[in-house]
Structure 1
Amino acid sequence: MSIHKEEEIFDLVIVGGGPIGIACALEAKKKGLSYLILEKGTLVNSLYNYPSNMTFFSTSEKLELDEIPFISINPKPHKQEALEYYRRIVTSNHLKIQLFEKVEKIQTLDNDLHKITTSKGNYSTKNVIIATGFYDIPNYLNIPGEDLPKVAHYYGDPHFYATQKTIVVGASNSAVDAALEIYRKGGDVTMIVRGPAIGERVKYWVKPDIDNRIDEGSIKAVFNAEIKEIRENEVVISSKDGEQVLENDWVLLLTGYRPNFEFLKNIGIKLSEDGRKIPRYNPETMESNVKGIYLAGVICGGTETHKWFIENSRVHAEMIVEDIVNKLGEQSHQR
């Protein structure tokens, strides 16, 4: 059900109901702005879809929003604790949010207003914050068999893979966590890694574990290798040792994710042409090249999705809202 009148004009609409979108809403509320969050899925949708046993790299205080304490019984908080924390922030602060409402189009009108078309209605706003993250679109390999039912680009719970021959493609945190958890639930795990070793950005307390499991043979790993084809009961890989065919039940293609670049381009936001697709924005205000449209969070890094995360992009909320408040004040004074 819509929570606004059709003719209402918001000071700010926030696209994305993750931690950074919530931070922006908290700041907007403090400054007395009329605002609304639009989220295509559930609250903190990306976090909700993270693996069941996911542990954050950051400690709890670095995940806090607006100095609201995040109390965790663990050195590094777990997914369920984070869901509880961000959910309670939204409900306790009565933040205005529309869930399961996908933004389909954003148009900038001649009067500097922005018309937002969603799966459920239309909204008018003076300013927009895009805080949509990057977890919704996997990096597809575009290989034969990638669309088979045995293939997944997201990992959930290790129990599913118990006693099964599972290939994990990738060498980052998500791939390493999946490999270790599945192995410990009785799965037969083989990692296919494009580079010569496990990634250097893997969580420092996890990397010795995966290296040791590979060294002892508990988890098999093929380095400097690529998966070439996925078949019903096997996969074909290519490495320095030539082509191999491996018996297989399930394939996890954990090769990373990317922002929705087409969505940004359709809004009119320019992307760098060096392959990184970094959107153009003012680093002092986070305003994009489109007047009144701001960027917040991991989406600011283009394909470099490791550059921005919760703890170092929380500041975007205050930067953006301060700029909006200043501009609204100037416009009011001119009138």
Structure 2
Amino acid sequence: MKEILDILIIGAGPIGLACGLEAKKAGLSYLIVDKGCLVNSLYNYPLNMTFFSTADRLEIGGIPFTSITAKPGRAEALEYYRRVADSQNLNLALFEEVKTVGETAEKVYRVETSKATYFAKHVIIAIGFYDVPNLLNVPGEELPKVRHYYFDPHYYFRQKVLVVGANNSSADVALETWRKGAEVTMVIRESELGRIKYWTKPDLENRIKEGCIRAYFNSHITGIREKEVDIQTPAGKVTIQNDYVMAMTGYQPDFSFLEKIGIQLSEDGRKHPVYNTETQETNLPNVFLAGVICGGLDTHIWFIENSRVHAEQIVKHILAKAEKA
């Protein structure tokens, strides 16, 4: 068996990096593994995205995040976390997907990735939830015109764009594509707009009131075709011409990965992972959860600002156990 790490961290997002910083500070050997680039989820955020949180709430490891505005955007966040990883010389294995995690006879974990095999006394899972979109489950969703991710509005100039959803992402997509020349329609299941940034919501409300952006409330899509979309509204079925469907319906954690390695999930339909809220340890000994993954399907419970403490809790518990041994 080759070198046994104290901690192997799965996920190089902000919370995974925070765990690496805490491990390094404690003098523990560690490695952070991610199937994508550094802070891969943030990299895939929309080009013009602005955070809800202020810069100080996005800081990790006590390293200051200086922003030219109160609420930083995607580019500033990428720069910050890149500089944190670089300045602290964090041990990273990027573009390396974890395939299996299993305990060996020596009571350490064998972690198989797409590129290597590692052994670790402890494993921290900080994989977030941005990789698995919530599907519409309607005919035609498999068409290339249906997008669950959005990057830049320029692409949709003079296109007929249908935006599904009522929250932040939907509002940003609707407003940005409309301002870049798209013909925008929104389909919203509820009777009103949802959780939207306070500086965006009035803008969208006014655009809908003016008729610049058409919105169907209490409605849902029933079918998608190459050039049309069927919408069930309170007044009956409506068919509209359409080039792109932007399904901003949210995302969920990779529950299949958690189940594959043996982490228990709640049976209440919300799929909350089972873990100790004081130590973050799961039903698997020495396997911990950190960050938004802890919320299961309730992805609006944990954010960078309130889950960065998970790193401290986990490392503190590991050190306390080592002292008792």
Normalized against structure 1, the TM-score is what? 0.95
In the comparison of the two structures, how many residue pairs are matched? 325
Amino acid at match of 1:9: I
Per-residue deviation, residues 257-289 of structure 1 (Å, max 9, x unmatched): 000011111111111111111001101011111
Residue of structure 1 in register with 2:186 after alignment = 191
Amino acid at match of 2:168: N
The alignment status of 1:100 with 2:95, answered yes or no, reads yes
Residue of structure 1 in register with 2:243 after alignment = 249
SS in 2 for 1:134: coil
Distance 2:197 2:72 in 1: 14
Distance 2:2 2:106 in 1: 15
Residue of structure 2 in register with 1:31 after alignment = 26
Distance 1:328 1:116 in 2: 22
Provide the aligned C-alpha RMSD in A.
Answer: 0.9
Amino acid at match of 1:100: F
- What does 1:166-245 correspond to in 2, within 5 Å? 166-199=161-194, 201-245=195-239
Specify which of 96, 115, 122 is matched with residue 110 of structure 2: 115
Amino acid at match of 1:51: P
SS in 2 for 1:160: helix
Alpha-carbon shift at residue 112 of structure 1 (Å): 2.3
SS in 2 for 1:50: coil
Specify every segment of 5 or more residues in structure 1 that has no aligned partner in the other structure, as ranges: 1-5
Alpha-carbon shift at residue 44 of structure 1 (Å): 0.3
Per-residue deviation, residues 211-233 of structure 1 (Å, max 9, x unmatched): 11111111111011111111000
Per-residue deviation, residues 189-212 of structure 1 (Å, max 9, x unmatched): 10111111111x211221111111
The alignment status of 1:285 with 2:279, answered yes or no, reads yes
Distance 1:330 1:313 in 2: 27
The ranges of structure 1 where at least 4 consecutive aligned residues each deviate by more than 3 angstroms after the TM superposition are none
Distance 1:149 1:66 in 2: 41
Per-residue deviation, residues 98-142 of structure 1 (Å, max 9, x unmatched): 000000111123432111111111111000000000000001122
Specify every segment of 5 or more residues in structure 2 that has no aligned partner in the other structure, as ranges: none
Normalized against structure 2, the TM-score is what? 0.98
Specify which of 312, 320, 334 is matched with residue 314 of structure 2: 320
Per-residue deviation, residues 163-209 of structure 1 (Å, max 9, x unmatched): 1110000111111111111111111110111111111x211221111
The alignment status of 1:144 with 2:139, answered yes or no, reads yes
